[in-house]
Amino acid sequence: MNLWVGGLHVHQGGIEPLLLASILLLSILSPSFFSTAHANPGTVNVPGDYPSIQLGINHAIVGDTVMVGLGVYNERVVLNKTVHLVGAARDGTIIDGQRAGTVVTVTVDSASITGFTIRNPAIFGNAVELLHVNNTSVTNCAISTDVGSGRPTGAGLDLYGSNGTLVDGNVFTHSLYGVNMSFSVRNRISNNRMLNSTLIGVEFLDSANNTIVQNRIEYGEEGLDLTGPGTIGNNVTRNALVGMSLSGVFLIDRAFGNLFVENSFLLNHIGVNIQNVTSQNTFYHNSFLRSGFRHVNHVFPGDGALDVWDNRSLGGPVKGGNYWDDYMGTDGDGDGIGDTNRPADGVDTYPLMSPFVPVPLAVVKIIPSKVSGSVPFLVSFQADVLGTLKPFTYLWSFGDNSSNSTESIPSHTYSTAGNFTVRVVVRDGSGASDVGSVSVLASNPSGPSLILWAGLIVLGVGGGVLGFVYYRRRKGRRADGVEGPNQEKRSKTNG
């Protein structure tokens, strides 16, 4: 049994009866003796009980919850006890490392962290670091390393020799790696988003038997990087790898026996890039759409020669490969698998005729009917959207404080000049959303050009001069009697 006395844990049987009686008597005579005690048994409140997170951890015991209220905590935290570190709200409970080092370091098994924004480690440092620990969880956090940097450094979450970790429901931004695993096994990375200049979503370095499931990794350089002969037996399932400038997945340096199932590769420069003799990696029921260079790239001859691009090696009753949007074969027997022009993309002998799982939503771009014009400027917009979970709904804003539109292909008239950013939020049938934007330029009507004005002036002056000369000549001829209606009469009189 544990007692709280004077803000300290006292274990029954671990203190002399006379001393315990003295402490209890003191508490009766001086109630302020208990002023630093927990508000609730098993809970340490920050800043209610202690002004900093680290002091709260220091005064907790194993199994306690350190509950942290809203606010910015400028400190570096070492989680060296098996406690549950809980923030009041992810976006409002902020641990800021002030560029001084790792923000949160975990050195003990079975601790947990949830509900924080964790940011600003030292350059090349990590926001959260797990060192040789097991069964830790990091959930529902917003994690970044270099918000203001053009090219981020460090990892949002670094696992070094750490096993059995749950990383779920986090948002990783502005990091060199979202999650960096080195010599770590049996970790689960699930339901996270990695975006906004996170250059590599998940890095595997000699790490085995990890599960990467239902993450969305978008608009970085590489989605997943699997490196080294110890990178074996990892399960990569139902992830969306979107808009990578290099590759959705990069297999390098003898990564072996990894499984890729039901993933969506959308808008990447290369879908899967393979280098230095990886082998027996298996890919099936994945979808490849709109790769910029190619869906599958083998850097050197022989790379990936023993990789498998369907599920036949797993003994399933129905063979099946992957869906390729550039596959031009036909399905003669109607079984959903292409029968001609195989292997698809040079690798798949059982190409699927349609995606095996729904393709997640991705707004490719907005296409305006015109990108510039003079006011009143009428322009229509259409969103190029990938995804199979229809129907799509649209919410357009035109950047000029006008009313929004929910039409799929709206038209809008700009009445004032300016450079306007048009945005659309597209939502699919599952409730997922994505955003696209484009700029259009509306200008004031241009008046006559200088050349035209100069020409008009020259014509006007020239016409005036010619008119004046003509007038003077006519006037002179009349005065001399050589022109006019009375010319014949005057001649006869003079005769």
pLDDT in tens, the chain (495 residues): 344 443 344 444 444 444 444 444 444 334 333 334 455 559 999 999 999 999 999 999 999 999 999 999 999 999 999 999 999 999 999 999 999 999 999 999 999 999 999 999 999 999 999 999 999 999 999 999 988 777 889 999 999 999 999 999 999 999 999 999 999 999 999 999 999 778 999 999 999 999 999 999 999 999 999 999 999 999 999 999 999 999 999 999 889 999 999 999 999 999 999 998 778 999 999 999 999 999 999 998 888 888 999 998 787 677 899 999 999 999 999 999 999 999 999 999 999 999 999 999 999 999 999 999 999 999 999 999 999 999 999 999 999 999 999 999 999 999 999 999 999 999 999 999 999 999 999 999 876 544 445 555 656 655 555 555 455 555 555 445 544 444 444 444 344
pTM of the model: 0.81
Does residue 493 sit within a domain? no
> Which residue, 396, 416, 443, sits at the end of a domain?
443
Q: Based on the domain organization, do 145 and 25 belong to the same domain?
A: no
Taking a C-beta distance cutoff of 8 angstroms, is the pair 121, 154 a contact? yes
Report the CATH number at residue 403.
2.60.40.10
CA 459/CA 485 separation, integer angstroms: 33
Does residue 316 sit within a domain? yes
Q: Based on the domain organization, do 187 and 302 belong to the same domain?
A: yes
* Closest to 278 (Cα-Cα) out of 264, 249, 247, 257: 257
Q: Based on the domain organization, do 88 and 163 belong to the same domain?
A: yes
Q: Based on the domain organization, do 280 and 396 belong to the same domain?
A: no
Report the CATH number at residue 258.
2.160.20.10
pLDDT value of position 74: 98
Task: Please count the other Cβ atoms lying within 10 Å of the Cβ belonging to residue 256.
Answer: 21
Q: Based on the domain organization, do 428 and 378 belong to the same domain?
A: yes
User: Considering its fold, how many domains does the chain have in total?
Assistant: 3
Task: Please count the other Cβ atoms lying within 10 Å of the Cβ belonging to residue 364.
Answer: 16
pLDDT value of position 120: 96
> Which residue, 443, 463, 487, sits at the end of a domain?
443
> Which residue, 324, 349, 371, sits at the end of a domain?
324
Q: Based on the domain organization, do 297 and 230 belong to the same domain?
A: yes
Q: Based on the domain organization, do 46 and 22 belong to the same domain?
A: no
Structure tokens at 491: 């001649």
pLDDT value of position 446: 77
pLDDT value of position 459: 62
* Closest to 220 (Cα-Cα) out of 175, 182, 167: 175
Q: Based on the domain organization, do 64 and 13 belong to the same domain?
A: no
Residues 6+ apart with CB under 8 A from 117: 87, 90, 91, 92, 93, 94, 95, 141, 142, 143
Q: Based on the domain organization, do 253 and 376 belong to the same domain?
A: no
Backbone torsions φ then ψ of 127, nearest 5 degrees? -70, -50
Structure tokens at 217: 């990794």
Does residue 469 sit within a domain? no
User: By three-state DSSP, how is residue 49 classified?
Assistant: coil
Does residue 388 sit within a domain? yes
State how beta strands 200-205 and 142-144 pair: unpaired
Does residue 355 sit within a domain? no
Does residue 479 sit within a domain? no
pLDDT value of position 108: 97
pLDDT value of position 216: 97
Q: Based on the domain organization, do 28 and 49 belong to the same domain?
A: no
Domain that holds residue 399: 362-443
Q: Based on the domain organization, do 29 and 62 belong to the same domain?
A: no
User: By three-state DSSP, how is residue 70 classified?
Assistant: coil
pLDDT value of position 277: 73
Does residue 343 sit within a domain? no
* Closest to 303 (Cα-Cα) out of 252, 259, 351: 252
Q: Based on the domain organization, do 24 and 61 belong to the same domain?
A: no
Does residue 344 sit within a domain? no
